[in-house]
Amino acid sequence: MSLEKEIQESVFPLKKVAFDMNQIMENLDTRDLDLEEVDFEPYDPSLPVNTRIPFSAIYKTKGFKETDIQVYLNEVHITAKILEVERGIIAQHERVSSTQQRLTSKVKHAGVFTIELKHGGFTWRVRRKEKHFHELHRELITYKTFMRIPIPTRSHTVRRKTIKRDEVQQMPSLPRGSENLVREEQFSSRRKQLEDYLNKLLKTAMYRNYHSTLEFIDVSQMSFIHDLGPKGLEGMIMKRSGGHRIPGLNCCGRSEICYRWSKRWLVVKDSFIMYMKPDSGAIAFVMLVDKEFCVKMGLKDTETKHGVRIDNLSRSLIVKCTSYRHALWWGQALEDHVKKHGKAFLQDHRFGSFAREQENTLAKWYVNSSIYMQDIADALEEATEEIFITDWWLSPEIFLKRPVVEGNRWRLDYILKRKAQQGVKICVMLYKEVELALGINSEYSKRTLMRLHPNIKVMRHPDHVSSTVYLWAHHEKLVVIDQSIAFVGGIDLAYGRWDDKEHRLTDVGSVTRAISTASCLLSDKSTKGPGEESMPHNNGSSQKTGGDAKAADSVDLPKLKGVGRSRKYPRFSLHKQLHKHHLQHGDSISSIDSSEGNSSAIRNLQTGVGQLQGDTRFWHGKDYCNFVFKDWVQLDKPFDDFIDRYTTPRMPWHDIGSVVHGKAARDVARHFIQRWNFTKIMKPKYRSLSYPYLLPKSHTTANDLRYQVPDCVKTKVQVLRSAADWSAGIKCHEESIHNAYVHVIENSKHYIYIENQFFISCTDNRLVFNKIGDTIAARILKAYRENKKYRVYVVTPLLPGFEGDISTGGGSAIQAVMHFNYRTMSKGDNSIISQLNAEMGNQWINYISFCGLRTHAELAGKLVTELIYVHSKMLIADDNTVIIGSANINDRSMLGKRDSEMAVIIEDTQTVPSVMDGEEYQAGKLGLQLRLECFKLILGGFTDPTIDVTDPISERFFKEVWIATAARNATIYEKVFRCLPSDAVRNTVELSEFIAKLGLDTEDPAKALEELKKIRGFLVQFPLYFLCEENLLPSVGTKEHMVPMETWT
- Residues annotated as catalytic are 475, 477, 482, 871, 873, 878
DSSP string covering 840-881: HGGGGGGTEEEEEEEEEEEETTEEEEEE-EE--EEEEETTTE
Q: Which of 146, 87, 151, 78 is nearest to 114 (CA)?
A: 87
Q: Which of 1020, 979, 1022 is nearest to 826 (CA)?
A: 1022
Asked if 427 contacts 387 with a C-beta cutoff of 8 angstroms, the reply is: yes
Distance between CA atoms of residues 265 and 244, nearest Å = 19
Asked if 236 contacts 65 with a C-beta cutoff of 8 angstroms, the reply is: no
- ∠ at Cα 639 (636, 642), nearest 5°? 80
Distance between CA atoms of residues 371 and 499, nearest Å = 9
Q: Which of 244, 256, 261, 273 is nearest to 331 (CA)?
A: 273
Asked if 480 contacts 388 with a C-beta cutoff of 8 angstroms, the reply is: yes
DSSP-based three-state secondary structure for 1046: helix
Residue 206 CA: distances (Å) to CA of 144, 198, 573: 9, 14, 76
Kindly tell me the burial class for residue 50, based on how many C-beta atoms sit within 10 Å of its own C-beta (0-12, 13-18, 19 or more): exposed
Task: Write the DSSP symbol of residue 404.
Answer: -
Can you give the C-alpha Rg of the chain in angstroms? 35
Distance between CA atoms of residues 310 and 330, nearest Å = 11
Q: How many CB atoms lie within 10 A of CB 23?
A: 11
Taken as a whole, the chain contains a residue count of 1049
Q: Is the peptide bond before 150 cis (omega within 30 degrees of 0)?
A: no
Task: Write the DSSP symbol of residue 907.
Answer: E
Asked if 342 contacts 289 with a C-beta cutoff of 8 angstroms, the reply is: yes
Residue 693 CA: distances (Å) to CA of 267, 408, 454, 673: 14, 32, 16, 8
Please provide residue 719's backbone torsions phi and psi, each rounded to the nearest 5 degrees.
Answer: -90, 135
DSSP-based three-state secondary structure for 238: strand
Distance between CA atoms of residues 922 and 901, nearest Å = 32
Asked if 582 contacts 483 with a C-beta cutoff of 8 angstroms, the reply is: no
DSSP string covering 684-696: GGG-STTSPPP-P
Kindly tell me the burial class for residue 13, based on how many C-beta atoms sit within 10 Å of its own C-beta (0-12, 13-18, 19 or more): exposed
Distance between CA atoms of residues 483 and 55, nearest Å = 11
Kindly tell me the burial class for residue 595, based on how many C-beta atoms sit within 10 Å of its own C-beta (0-12, 13-18, 19 or more): exposed
- ∠ at Cα 12 (6, 15), nearest 5°? 140
Distance between CA atoms of residues 871 and 625, nearest Å = 15
Q: Which of 853, 922, 955 is nearest to 367 (CA)?
A: 853
Q: How many CB atoms lie within 10 A of CB 763?
A: 15
Q: Which of 502, 243, 216, 176 is nearest to 370 (CA)?
A: 502
DSSP-based three-state secondary structure for 79: strand
For residue 104, the one-letter residue type is: T
Q: Which of 869, 852, 866 is nearest to 966 (CA)?
A: 852
Distance between CA atoms of residues 432 and 426, nearest Å = 19
